[in-house]
Amino acid sequence: MEVNILTLCYLIAAVTFIVGLKMLSHPETARRGNGVAAAGMTLAILGTIFLYKDKDAPGGLHNYSWIFAGILIGGIIGTMAARRVKMTAMPELVSLFNGMGGACAALISLIEFGHLAHNNFETTTVNSVVTDVYVLNNVSTQPVATGTVLIILLGLIIGSISFAGSVIAWGKLNGKIKDYSFRGQHVMNLVLLGLLVLLAAYIIGWLPVHASLYFYLVFAMALIYGVFFVLPIGGADMPVVISLLNSFTGVAAACGGFLYNNKVMLTGGILVGAAGTLLTILMCKAMNRSLGNVLIGSFGSPKGGATQNKTQGLYKEISLADAAVVMAYSNKIMIVPGYGLAVAQAQHVCHELEKLLTEKGVEVRYAIHPVAGRMPGHMNVLLAEADVNYDKLLEMEVANEEFQTTDVVLVLGANDVVNPAAKSDSSSPIYGMPILDVELAKTIIVNKRSMKPGYAGIENDLFFRPKTSMLFGDAKKVLQDLIAEIKNV
C-alpha cells in the first residue's frame, strides 16, 4: 500500500510540474505556477524520504539526519541568495542555479559508478540471453546491464558540461571572466567532444578492465569541454547559451530518472529539457541565427573588428527640460527597456513615468526585444516586478508596426537590440539579427551612462542619426528628474 501511495505522490507531483509550467507562460499566473510546481516537488521529496522501499532498502531510508541537514543548508542558502539578489544579478543567479542542477546530475553518475568501481566486465547469460554485463569484484552478484552504464555516462557528460559551462556563463555575466578565444579553438572543441564521445563508447562497447580510470577521464574531459564551450561566446548570444545549458541540465536530470526508475524525476527532467530546447530555438529565431552559428560564431567577440573601431561622427544631446516638453506633448510614446534599466534598478521609476504620462493623455507602451538583457525574458521579469500592465508590453513584431506612428521612443539602456547595423552593415557581427526599428519614430531619445558600446562590443550607428538625441546619466536618476520636469510642464 505504501508503494501505491508513493506512486500517487509521484503522479500528483508530475501533474503539478505540467500545470505549473503552463501557468508560467503568463505573468499574471506565473507566481502561482511557481508555487504549484514547488508544492509538487515538496510532495515528491517527502514521499521519497518517508515512503520509499525496495529490495536494497526494505526498511526505507534511515539516514534522516544527513538528508534533512542537506535540505536545511541548501534551503537557507538558496532562499538567502534569491531574496538578496538584485535584478541586475538575476541572470547570474539563474545561470549559477542551473549549473548546480548539472552538478547534481554529474554527482549522481559519479556515486552510482562508484558502486560499480573495481569491476571486471565479462559476457554472461542473464535470463537465457547472452549479454555484456558488469559483475561486481569478480564475484557472483546481481549483474548490471550495460544500458545502465550508458545512462550513467550520459548523465555524467551532460551534467558536467552544464555545470562547467554555467559557471563560466556566471563569470562572464558578472564581469569576472572575459570572452576568450584563440585560433583553432572551435576545431579543438570539436576534437575534444569527439574524443569524449569515442571514449564513452569504448567504455560501453568494449568494457575495458580499467573502466574506472577511463570513466574519471571522461568526467575531466567533460568539465574541460564545458569551459571551452562557453568561453568564446559573448555579447548578445548569452541568452541563447543560458537557455541551451538549461536544457542540458534537464536532460541530465532525466538520465537520473532513468537510472533510479523514478517517474517524477524523469518527468521533471524531460519538461526542463524540452522547455530549454524550445526556448533556445525561439532565441535563435529572434536573432535570425542558427544554433550552430551561435556556438561557432562567437557573437560579440573581438573579431567583430571594423564595426567596433569605425568612427561614426557626432552625436547631439538633449536637456531634461527639452525632453520633458517633447514627451509631455506627445500623443504616443514607446519605451525600449534594456540592461541599463536593470543596472540602475529603475523599473519602478519607469513605471511612475508611464503613469504620469498616461494621466496627461499620452499613450505609453513598451517595446520588448526577445534577447534584451542577459537572459531570456529579462525585461519581462524586470517590468513585472514593477507591476507594469502586461498588456502594455509589445513583442518585437508588434512594436515594429507601431514605431511609424510613434512620436517619441525612449531607449533606456538598450544598445544592440536597436542597432541599425544589423540591417545596413554586412561586416557587423550582428548583421541579419532582427531589431526594434526605433529609427522609424519621429524622435528618439537614448538614455545611456556614456557612449561606450553595449555588451556585444559594437558601436551603435543609431546614436549618430539626425533624429536621435542622447540623454546621459544613470537611468534611475534621469527618470526621477524627468518626472519632476514633466510635472512642471
- State which amino acid sits at residue 300: G
Where is 31: in which H helix or E strand? helix 27-51
With contact defined as beta carbons under 8 Å apart, do 134 and 116 qualify? yes
**Phi, psi (rounded to 5 degrees) for 82:** -70, -35
Number of residues in the chain? 489
Cα separation of 183 and 3, whole Å?
A: 57
Q: HSE of 23 in the Cβ direction (CA atoms, 13 Å)? A: 17
Cα separation, 278 vs 136, in Å, equals 41
Tell me the three cell numbers of residue 24. Answer: 508560467
Contact between residue 299 and residue 288 where contact means Cβ atoms under 8 Å apart: no
Q: Which of 172, 114, 132, 194 minimizes the C-alpha distance to 375?
A: 172
User: Distance of CA 345 to CAs 87, 261, 365, 379, 476, Å?
Assistant: 7, 45, 19, 12, 7
How far is the C-alpha of 223 from the C-alpha of 227, rounded, in Å?
A: 6
Nearest to 444 by CA among 307, 330, 340: 330
What is the gyration radius of the CA atoms in the chain, in angstroms?
26
484 CB neighbour count, 10 Å cutoff: 11
Strands across the sheet with 129-135, in order? Answer: 120-126, 129-135, 144-145
Identify whether the C-beta of residue 449 lies closer than 8 Å to the C-beta of residue 421.
no
Q: Which helix (H) or strand (E) holds 145?
A: strand 144-145
Catalytic hit among 322, 387, 416, 461: 416
Is 387 marked active-site?
A: no
What phi and psi values does residue 471 have, to the nearest 5 degrees? -125, 95
DSSP 122: E
Which among 418, 407, 442 is positioned nearest to 327, based on CA atoms? 407
C-alpha 486 chain-centroid distance? 38
Residue 207 Ramachandran class (φ > 0 left, ψ -120 to 50 alpha, else beta): left
Residues that are catalytic: 416
